[in-house]
Structure 1
Amino acid sequence: MLNKLLVCLAFLLAHAATVAAAPAAKLDNAACLTCHDGQKGKLEVADADGEKRKLRDVHTDKYGKSVHARMECVACHTDITDNVSPHQKTGAKTADCATCHQALWDKAKQAGSTANQPRMEVVARNIAAYKQSFHARPDKDKPSQPKATCTQCHDTHAFAVPADKQSPQYAAWRKDIPKLCGESCHDDQLEAFASSVHGKEVIDKANAKAPVCTSCHTNHEITNTSLVTFKLLNNEECGNCHKDNLKSYRDTYHGQVTRLGYAETAKCFDCHGSHKVLGPKDPKSKVHPDNRLKTCRQCHDGKKKPLATAGFASFGPHANSHDFARYPQMWIATKSMIALLIGVFAFFWLHSGLWYYREWQDRKQGKSVPHVRTDSLPPAERKFFQRFPAGWRIAHLVFALVTMTLVLTGTAALFSHTSWAPVAAKALGGASGLALIHRVAAAIFVAVFAIHFVYVMQKLLRDRTFRWFGPDSLVPNWKDLADIVGMFKWFFGKGPKPRFDRWTYFEKFDYWAVFWGVTIIGGSGLMLAIPHITAQYLPGWVFNVATVVHGEEAFLAAVFLFTVHFFNNHFRPEKLPPPDIVMFTGTQSLDEFRREHPAQYQRLVDAGELDSYLVDAPSAPLTLGSKILGLVLIAFGLTLLVLVAIGFFGGG
C-alpha cells in the first residue's frame, strides 16, 4: 500500500515539473479571438459592484479593417496574463485611449516626426477638447467615472471613420450617429430627432449631408447647451445649409445682436426648436402660422419683455429685398431707399467735387478774394457779425454730440459683422447697453428738436413782419433754385458765383434734413422700440420695413454729415485750415460775412441795420476752445465715417 502511494506521489511531482517546465501559452490575437470572436456565445464578467455585464464581441472582419488592426489585444488589456477563463489578472491599470494616444503624440514630437502624422495631431487635439468637455465631467450617479468615455462612442475594435465624406461608407457611418448617441444616453432626444425633418433625412434617406447630433454639439468639444458660445455657434451651423435664411436673419435685430456676440435675442433653435425641427407647414411646427405668436411669447412673455401682440405673428424673420412675390413691402422699401441714397449722394458729391475744383482753379489763377487784415481796419470794421444766438449754438452742439452717439451705437448693430462692432458693443455695456444708450440719445435728440421747433414757431408766429418766403426764412424759395443753377454755372466757369442771402440752399437742406430725420428715422425707430404697441395695431411686416428704412436713412444721414456737411463748412479751400468755428462762437468776421453772405450784408447796409448785429471779437480762450472742440468733433466724425465705410464695403 505504501509503495502505491509513493508511486502516485512521484507521478504527481513529475507531472507538476513537466507543467512548470512547459512554456506559457502565447497571448496573441488568435488566442484571444478563440473565445472573444462572438462564436462561443455570450461572455459575462462581474463588474465592480458584482453585477454581471456582457463583454463586447470582437468580429475579426471588422477588427481587421479598423485603425487598431495591427495592435495586439494585450497592448491595451495589459492586466491579462493568461488565456484561461476566468483570467487571472495582475491588477495593472488597463491603458485608456487618451493616455495611449497622448503618449504616441508626445513621442512623435520628441522624434520630430509630427509632420508625417497629421492624423495623430487631430487625435491629440480631440483629447484636449474632450478633457474640457461636458462628457468628461464626473457622472452624477457614479462620480468616479466621467459622463461618457471614449469607448462609449468609439468601438475600439472596429473604429474606422471613412476618410471620403462622399462615399457610401461615410453616409452609413454618419447615419448611425443619432442611434449611437440616443440609445446610449439620450433616448428622449433621439425620439424627437427621429420625427424631425433632419432625422428623416438622415435615418430614412441616409442623407450624409443632413445634420446629426455632432453637427450641433460637435464631436469632442461637447459643451453645456446653456452657454452663450454654444447658442451662437448653433446659428452658424444652421447657416451652413440654410445660407439664405441665415443672411436674412442677420439683417434683423435678432441676428445683429447675436453677431455682436450676445445670446439675448432669438436664435434659430428658439423659433424652430432643437431636436424636433418641423417644416413650417406642419401643424405641430413652432413656426406654423397658428403657433407663431406662442413661439414669440417664449421671449416676449410680458415679464422681462413686453408681451408679444398679434402683429408679431406676421413678422418676417427671413424677409428679404429680392423676393417681390413673398415680400413686396420689403422690395419696395429697399428699392426706394437705394434710389434716395443714390440721388442724394450723386447730387451732393458731384456738387462738392465741382465746388472744390472751382475754388482750387480760382486760387490757382489768383481769382480768390484775399482775406482782409483786420488789425489795419477802422474800429467798426474790426467788429464781428453776430450770426447765431446762444440757443442755436447750444442746440447745434447737443445735436452734434447726440448724432455721433446715435451713429456709433446704431452702426455697431447695423454693421455687426465687422471686427470693430463687437469691440464697441463690449465697451458700451453689451447689446443691452448699446440699445439703452441709443434710445436715450434718440430721446434727447427728439427733445432738443421739439424745444427748438416750439421756440422758433412761437417767435415767428408773433412776428407780424416775418415773411415765410423772405430772405430771413429757412423755407425754400425760388431764389434757392436760381442759386443752385447759378452755382453749377460758376462751377463750369459760365457765370459768377451766386450772391447768397442769410441762408444758402445747402444750409436750408441741412436744416430741413433734421425734420426729415426725426420723422423717418425717429418714427421707424419708435416703432421698433415699442414693438408690442406697434404690433397691436399694425401687421408684423412693418417691422421689416422699419428696419430697412431706419438703417438706410441713418446710413444716409451719417455719410452725408461726415462728407458733404463737413466739406461745406470745414474743408472747402476757402475754409482751410479747419475748423470753421462760427457755430461755436456764434460770430464771424465782417470780411468772412461779406464773402459768405454778400446779399444779406448789402441788405443790412442799405437798411442801416448792420450795426445792430456787430459785436466784439470772441475772446482768445473762447476762440481756442472752439477750435479744439471743432477739431475733436471733426476727428470723431471722420473716425465714424471710416467705421461706416468698413461696415459698408466689408460685406455681411
Structure 2
Amino acid sequence: MNIISHFKDRGKAVTITYSVVFALIAYLTFTTLNSAVQVSMPEENDDCMVCHDDKDLKGTRKGKNISMYVNPNHILGSVHAEAKCVDCHTDLAGVDLPHEDDLKTATCGKCHNKQQKDFDISFHGVALKKGDPLAPNCQYCHGNHQIVDAQHEKSPVQPLKIPFMCGKCHQEGAPVQMSRNIPQSHILENYSESIHGEGLFKRGLVVTATCVSCHTAHAILPHTDKRSSIARNNIAATCSQCHARIEDVHKKIIDGELWEKEAHSLPACVDCHQPHKVRKSFYDVGMAKKECLNCHQDKNIKASNDGRSLHVDVSKLDHSVHSDLACSKCHIEVRPSKIRSCETITTKVNCGSCHDKVNNNYMQSSHGKLFLTGEKDAPTCVTCHNDHEVLPKINPMSKTFAINIPDLCSECHQDGHQAAVRMEDKVQHLTETYTESIHGQGLKSGRLKVTANCSDCHSAHMEANHENPVSSTHKDNISNTCGKCHWGIQTQFDKSIHSPMVSKSNDELPNCNTCHVAHSVVDPSKDEFRLSMLNTCGKCHEKITHLYFDTYHGKASLLGSGKAAKCQDCHSAHMILPTSHANSTLSRDNIVETCAKCHPAANKGFTRYLTHATHHDPEKYPLLFITFWGMTILLLGTFLVSWLHTLLWLPKSLKMRKEIMALKAAGHSGKRVRRFTPLNRILHVTMILCFLTLAATGMMLKFSYAWWAQFSVKMIGGVEVTGFFHRFAAIVLFGVFFTHIFDLIFNKRKEFGSWKEMLLGPDSLLPNKKDWEDLVGSMKWFFNKGPRPQYGRWTYWEKFDYFAVFWGIFVIGSTGLMLWIPEFFTKFMSGQLINVATIIHSDEALLAAGFIFTIHFFNTHFRPEKFPMDTVIFSGSYDVEEFKFDRPAEYEKLVEEGKLEELFVDEPTPTQKRVHSIFGWAALLTGLLIVFLIIYSIISINF
C-alpha cells in the first residue's frame, strides 16, 4: 500500500467519525431548546420581552383587543428599571410561558403599601372597588411602564401637569363632572384664575399649591370626613405646609372675636378664602353687608359725637377691590348680638389685620412714625387708597395708578403744603423738580406708566429718610432700587471700580444719586447733564479734572460744548474699569473703538495722545515740559527785547514829534508818494480781519475759564460756531500768505529785475548789512552817541514784523492743522506730538497776539510822531515831506534815479480818509481789548 492510498482510507474514517459527533451535538441542542420553551419560568424581563417586544402582538383584556407591545426603552427609563415584570404582574408568578391573555391589573400595593392604603380609603379607591368605570387607578395617573420621578418633565404627575391630570375628570364638561354629584363647579377654571393657579401657570412656580398639595395625592376624601386633609379641623395644618405663621397673620381677627360662633379658635382658612378661588373672601357671621347699608346708605347720616358724615356711597363700594368683603371684616368691633351692631366700635379700621406686611412697613416709614406721634397731618391708608372706594393700582381712576402718584404725593409735598413746610430746611421744590426731570416728563408728557414715580424709588409703604439704613434710597440700597428698572445699568455698575463689591474702600463711593440727583434726574444725553458731570467727577478726581481742563475737550466744555468728550465718553458711564482690565473702554484692545465714537478715523497712533498730561511734570512728561519752557522762554525773550527797544525809542520819538509838527505847520506841497500797491493794501486789510478773528476766537479757547470767553462764545453761537470762524479765518490767512508769495515772484522782474536784486538789493525784504548798521546806529542814537540813521525803504523792525508773519504761518499754521485733523497726522507720528502741538500753537498764538497788539501797534501807530494812527497801509500813500523825513535814504535814492515823480498819486478823498480812520480805529481798539482781556485773564487765574 502506498502512502497516498493509506491517507485516502484514513480520511474516510475521520469523515465518518466527525459526522456522528455533529449529529449528536445537534440532537442535544434541539432537545435543550425545546425543553426551555416548554417549561421555562419568567425569572428575567428578557424572557417576557421575547414576546412583548413585538409591536404587532395583540391580546384580550376585559373582552377588548389591545396591543400587548411593551417598549423596552420605557422600562429602562422608568423608576422600575431594576424591578422584574412579575413584581407587578404577581399573577404570573409560577405560571408557564406563554401565559393566558386576560391578566389581572398590575399590583402596586406590594411595594407602595402606604399609598395603596391611602388610595383604598379615598374617593377614587372606593369607587374603583365598586366597579365604577370612571374611577381612576394607579396607571391612570402614573402611567404603566414609563413611570418616572414625579419631578421629571415627562411625568404626568409633575407639579405643572397636576391640574391638567385632575382636570381630565374634574374640568367642566368632563364625564366625571357631568355624571357625578361634585359640590364644586368650574374647578379647573377657578383654580387657573386663583393666586395659586396664576403662580403655577403664569409664573412657572412649581412650589405653588396644586390639587395634591391640598387634597393629598392618594387619600382624597370629602371635607366632611374627619380624616380628610381639607376637613375643618385639618385645613389649617394643610395650608400651613406653605403658609407659616398663620396665627400671627390673623391675630387681630382672633383678638377681636370676629366669629363669635368659633370663639377663641382660628377660623378655617376656607371661611375667608374660598376653595379653588382663593382670591375671594366671605364671612359666615350671620351679618350681611346689606344690614349695614340699611343705615349707612342714607346720605344724611352723621356721627353723633362730631357730626362727620357716615354715608357710604354704594356705587363706589361696588367698584372697590373690597366689594365682596363684608363690612365686619374691616370693622371688626361690630357685634351682631347687639341691636345696633356698630355701637361697639371704638377704634378706626386697622388695615394691617389683613395687610400685615404692608402695615409693618408703614410703621417703619416716616409716615408711620409721624402717625405714631399723633400728628393729624400724618398720611394713613385712606389718604392714598380712600376708605370705601379702594381701587387697584392698575385702575387709571385709582390714586395709586402710576401716572396719578405724583399728584397724590403732591397733595402733601407740594410747596406750601404740610409736608413741604415740615421738610423746608432739608429739601425744597420736590414736585416741581420731579415734573421737570426725565422721569416726570416721561410720566406726564409721554404718559408712560412704566417710568419711575415716587413709590418706585421710595417704596409704596416704607418710605424713609435717605439716611435711614432701611430706606430704599439709602446709599447702600439705591443701586438695587434703581436697578429694578435699570437692570442692565446696575449690572454694569456692580462690576465697576465705583461699586463697593469691587472697591473695598473706606472712602465713600459714588452711587446713583451722586450723578443723577434724586428728583431732578436729567436726560443724560442733554448738555445740561453732560456738563454737570465734570463737576461731579471733579469732586473726587480733582487733580485729574484740573488736567482735563487744560485739554481741548476740557476747554470746549467750559465754554458750554455738550459735544466735547466728557469723563463718561471715554471711561464709560457705569462700568468704569482700570485701563489694565480687558473689558475697560480704555484697554489696549478697546481704546481705538472708544476714540472712534467721536473720531471715526482714529488709529493706534491717535490713541497715544496724552489726555490728562501736564507740562509741569518733567519726570513723567519730559517732552511736554521741555516744549512748554522752551516756548515760555521764547515768548518772554521776544517781549523783553521788543519792549526794551520800544522804551529806548520813546524819548527820541517824543522829540521827533515836535519836529514833525513844525514841519506840518510850515505847510506841504500836497504831493503824495505811493508806498503800497492796491493788492498790498487788500492783503493787509484781509490779514488784519483774519488775525483779529483768529486772536479773538483762539483766546476764548485758551482762557476758557474766564467769564468774558464763555459769554463771547455763547453770543457767537457756541463752541462749534466759534471753531468754524477760527478755521475759516485760518484758511483765508493761508490764502493771503500764498497770494503774497505769488505776487512777489510775479513782480520780481518788473520791480527788481533779477533774483539777486530782489533778495540782496537795498530794497530787499531780507535782512542785510544795512539793517545791522541801522540797528547799531539806532542804539547809538537812543543813547545820544550818534545821529538818527538814514532809514531806507524797509527798516529792521519792519522786516522783523514781516518775517514774524512767515514764522507764525509756519509754526501756528502747521500745529493748527495737526490739531484740526489729528487722525491724519497720527498715522505717521505719535499722538504725543498732538500734545506738543497744542502747547506750541497756544503759546505761539499768545506771542503773536501780544506782539502785534503791543509792539507792532507802537511801531506803527503809537509812536508819538505817528500818534494816534498811521493810515498809510490803508491809503497806500503819504505826504512827500513825511516820506522824506521818515525814510531819507530811500528819498535820496529815488531822486537820484529820477523815479520819485513816478510814485506820485492823488490825495485820498475825505470819504476815503474817514473810512480808513474808522476801520483803523476799530481794528486798533479790538486789538487793545484783546490784550486787556488776555492780561486780565492771566492775572485773575494766578492772583
- In the superposition, the TM-score normalised over structure 2's length comes to 0.57
Q: Distance in 1 between matches of 2:387 and 2:678?
A: 98
Q: Which residue pairs with 2:731 in the alignment?
A: 443
- How far is 1:606 from its partner? 4.4
Specify the alignment match of 2:358 in structure 1.
55
Query: Which residue of 369, 373, 380 corresponds with 1:77?
Result: 380
SS at match of 1:241: coil
Tell me the distance in 2 between the aligned counterparts of 1:254 and 1:433.
16
1:599 aligns with 2:889: yes
Which residue number corresponds to residue 264 of structure 1?
Answer: 563
- For residue 317 of structure 1, the aligned residue among 600, 611, 635 is 611
Give the length in aligned residue pairs.
592
Equivalent positions of 1:508-547 (< 5 A) are 508-547=799-838
Aligned-residue Cα RMSD (Å) equals 3.7
Query: Quick check: 1:159 aligned with 2:459?
Result: no
Query: Residue 748 of structure 2 is aligned with which of 456, 460, 464?
Result: 460
2:548–2:611 CA contact under 8 A, matched in 1: yes
Q: Which residue of 2 aligns with 1:304?
A: none
Partner in structure 2 of residue 123 of structure 1: 427
Q: 1:452 to 1:57 in 2, by over 3 A?
A: same
Describe the SS at the equivalent of 1:574: coil
- Quick one: distance in 1 between partners of 2:369 and 2:550? 47
In structure 2, the residue matched to 1:99 is 411
Does the C-alpha gap of structure 1 residues 77 and 427 become closer, same or farther in structure 2, counting only changes over 3 Å?
same
Note closer, same or farther for the CA distance 1:138–1:338 as it changes in structure 2 (3 Å cut).
Answer: closer
Instruction: Return 554-563 or 467-476, whichever deviates more.
Output: 467-476
The corresponding residue for 1:49 is: none
Counterpart in the other structure of 2:476: 175
Q: What CA distance in whole angstroms lies between the structure 2 residues aligned with 1:137 and 1:430?
A: 27
| Greater relative contact order (Cα < 8 A, sep 6+) | 1
Give the match for residue 72 of structure 2. Answer: none
Among candidates 834, 840, 844, match of residue 553 of structure 1: 844
Residues 471-513 of structure 1, C-alpha deviations (whole Å, 9 max, x = no match) = 3111113433343344344444454433322111111111001
Deviation at 1:356, TM superposition (A): 3.0
CA contact (8 A) 2:494 2:501 kept: no
Matches within 5 A, 1:20-39: 20-22=342-344, 24-25=346-347, 35=352
CA distance in 2, matches of 1:300, 1:468: 45
CA contact (8 A) 1:311 1:536 kept: yes
Cα distance in structure 2, aligned partners of 1:401 and 1:201: 59
**CA shift at 1:227, angstroms?**
1.4
- The amino acid that maps onto 1:401 is L
Residue number in structure 2 paired with 1:413: 701
Offset at residue 271 of structure 1 (A): 1.0
Counterpart of 1:221 in structure 2 is 520
Alpha-carbon distance in 1 for matches of 2:720, 2:746: 39
Matched, 1:388 2:691: no
- Is 1:230 the counterpart of 2:533? The answer is no
Contact 1:293-1:313 at 8 Å conserved across structures: yes
Describe how 1:241-390 pairs up with structure 2 within 5 A.
Answer: 241-301=540-600, 307-360=601-654, 362=655, 368-373=659-664, 376-377=667-668, 381-390=669-678
Partner residue of 1:400? 688
Q: Look up the equivalent residue of 2:552 and give its one-letter code.
A: Y
Contact 1:81–1:87 (CA under 8 A) maintained in structure 2: no
Gaps of 5+ in 2: 1-333, 392-397, 401-406
| Partner in structure 1 of residue 287 of structure 2 | none
Distance, in Å, in 1 between the alignment partners of 2:834 and 2:661 is: 55
Deviation at 1:129, TM superposition (A): 0.8
State the Cα deviation string for residues 554-588 of structure 1 (Å, max 9, x = none): 12111211111111111121112x22110011111
What SS does structure 2 have at the residue aligned with 1:321? Answer: coil
Contact 2:371 2:378 in 1 (8 A): no
Partner SS state of residue 704, structure 2 = coil
What SS does structure 2 have at the residue aligned with 1:244? helix
> Which protein shows a greater Rg?
2
Q: How much does 1:270 deviate?
A: 1.3
Tell me, in whole angstroms, the C-alpha distance in 2 between the residues paired with 1:620 and 1:565: 27
Give the C-alpha shift of residue 203 in structure 1: 7.0
Task: Give matches, 1:488-527, under 5 Å.
Answer: 488-527=779-818
Q: Is the 8 A contact 1:383 1:590 kept in 2?
A: yes
Q: Deviations over 1:205-260 (max 9, x none)?
A: 3532x221111111211122221211221222122222232232223222232222
- In the TM superposition, residue 445 of structure 1 has moved relative to its aligned partner by 0.9
Contact 1:80 1:90 in 2 (8 A): no
Question: Matches of 2:697 and 2:617 in 1, distance apart?
Answer: 30
Opposite residue 160 of structure 1, the aligned amino acid is N
Q: Within 2, Cα distance between the matches of 1:69 and 1:479? A: 101
Of residues 453, 459, 469 in structure 2, which corresponds to 1:149?
453
CA distance in 1, matches of 2:339, 2:912: 114
Kindly tell me: are residues 581 and 400 of structure 1, through their superposed partners in 2, closer, same or farther at Cα, counting changes over 3 Å?
same
Aligned-partner residue type, residue 505 of structure 2: K
Greater alpha carbon shift after TM alignment, 240-249 vs 269-278: 240-249
Instruction: Tell whether the 8 Å contact from 1:289 to 1:313 is kept in structure 2 after alignment.
Output: no
Whole-Å Cα distance in 2 between the matches of residues 80 and 214 of structure 1? 29
1:121-164 Cα distance to aligned partner (Å, 9 max, x none): 55332332112112224559x9584722333333675623449x
TM-superposed deviation, 1:618:
2.8
The residue identity in structure 1 corresponding to 2:925 is A
- Separation in structure 1 between the aligned mates of residue 903 and residue 633 of structure 2, nearest angstrom: 43
The amino acid across from 1:268 in the alignment is C
Q: Distance in 1 between matches of 2:891 and 2:366?
A: 99
State how far apart, in whole Å, the 1-side matches of 2:442 and 2:764 are: 78
Q: 1:180 to 1:391 in 2, by over 3 A?
A: same
* Displacement after TM superposition at 1:73 (Å): 8.6
* Secondary structure class of the residue paired with 2:464: coil
Q: Which moved more, 1:322-331 or 1:476-485?
A: 476-485
Alignment match, 1:589? 879
1:174 counterpart letter in structure 2: K
Corresponding residue for 1:132?
436
TM-score (norm 1): 0.81
CA deviations 1:249-293 (Å, max 9, x no partner) are 223222232222222232211111111000112122111233211
Contact persistence 1:329–1:545 (CA under 8 A): yes
| Counterpart Cα distance in 2 of 1:13 and 1:459 | 120
Question: Aligned with 2:378: secondary structure?
Answer: helix
Q: Distance in 2 between matches of 1:349 and 1:641?
A: 15
Offset of residue 68 of structure 1: 7.4
Between the aligned partners of 1:81 and 1:552, the Cα distance in structure 2 is: 66
Q: Give, in angstroms, the shift of residue 319 of structure 1.
A: 1.9
Distance 2:428 2:819 in 1: 49
Letter in 2 for 1:261: G
CA offset digits 1:36-94 (Å, max 9, x no partner): 8xxxxxx649xxxxxxxx62623867769977774559831262799xxx986789968
CA distance in 2, matches of 1:319, 1:488: 45
Post-superposition offset of 1:358: 4.4
Determine whether 1:16 maps to 2:338.
Answer: yes
- 1:179-218 paired onto structure 2 within 5 Å: 179-182=480-483, 184-200=484-500, 204-205=504-505, 207-208=507-508, 210-218=509-517
**Partner amino acid, structure 2, of 1:347:** V
Report which of the two has the higher share of helix: 1
8 Å contact from structure 1 (residues 232, 261) kept in 2: yes
- Aligned letter for 2:476? K
Counterpart Cα distance in 1 of 2:448 and 2:825: 56
Amino acid at match of 1:75: A
Deviations 1:609-631 (A, max 9, x none): 43333333333332222222212
